[in-house]
Amino acid sequence: MSSILFLPPANYTVAVELGFRDSRSKRCWSAGAGFPKRWCPRMRSIRAETAAETFGSRKGESLGPNGECDCDIPGRSAPALSNVGNSTNIAWHECPVGKLERQILLNQKGCVIWITGLSGSGKSTLASALSRELYALGYLSYVLDGDNIRHGLNKDLCFKAQDRAENIRRIGEVAKLFADAGVICIASLISPYRRDRDACRAMLPESIFIEVYMDISLEVCESRDAKGLYKLAREGKIKGFTGVDDTYEPPLNCEIVIAPTDGECPPPGAMAKQVISYLNENGFLKA
């Protein structure tokens, strides 16, 4: 592809330094009054006027003479404040680099692959295999493992129904940020309640929530019992354990189902390829 010269319209009179380097390790600049012009090869797939509007303005208004945010310029109207939940007097600040630009940079579309199923159904196994396969193909992903998240962000939550709902909500919000960054986010957690999974789906635009159901029977999962949790639950030492004394609600209309074939559970590589085929067929593996 040919490169384009990043020439902003006349009403953008300042140069904006872009936060990446080209293949020759030269920093890419826009062209403005008093500044040299330089080719911007990484912007070749974006029209010049679109790039100028994205990088040289915020909501249609140009940056200040020193490159400061438009909300910091004297005389500019103050941003609208709002109340969200228990947070009051907050304002949403737009980033000058948008989702489209991030996806072009990564050559992929951000999405959330939500793997749900009983403990021992192979969720973490699939997440690891999928992440490895995507990496080998040159795609960026990140795994949000349910247990790992409870080591940090959600360490204040227990396994009661209310805390489980909050656990899912928080992970859904984090997954949403990863998807907005253009990353293929793989969330692997039991998430037993349909309403909580549906709430996470509702957070995301453009049908980028991909629900993967590990349709593995309780008998198979309990026979694996890698963590010994089913044994503890059967002995009454763990209360509210999904599949034993708490319910699991299977998805009603998920995008992908991983199920045994002829009584045999598919190997990790085959499961990962099934998900990657879905991503490829639905355009997530290109910008």
With residues binned 3-state (H G I as helix, E B as strand, rest as coil), the percentages for the chain, rounded to 5, are 35, 15, 50
Residues 6+ apart with CB under 8 A from 89: 81, 83
Q: What spatial distance separates the first Cα and last Cα of the chain, rounded to whole Å?
A: 15
Cα angle: 96, vertex 80, 208; to 5 degrees = 50
Identify the bridge partners of residue 237 per DSSP, sorted by sequence position.
none
DSSP letter string, 191-236: ---HHHHHHHHHHSSTT-EEEEEE---HHHHHHH-TTSHHHHHHTT
Query: Phi and psi dihedrals of 172, rounded to 5?
Result: -60, -40
> Which member of 191, 207, 223, 277 is catalytic?
191
Residue 191 annotated to the active site: yes
Residue 275, number of CB atoms within 10 A of its CB = 24
Q: Which residues are catalytic?
A: 191
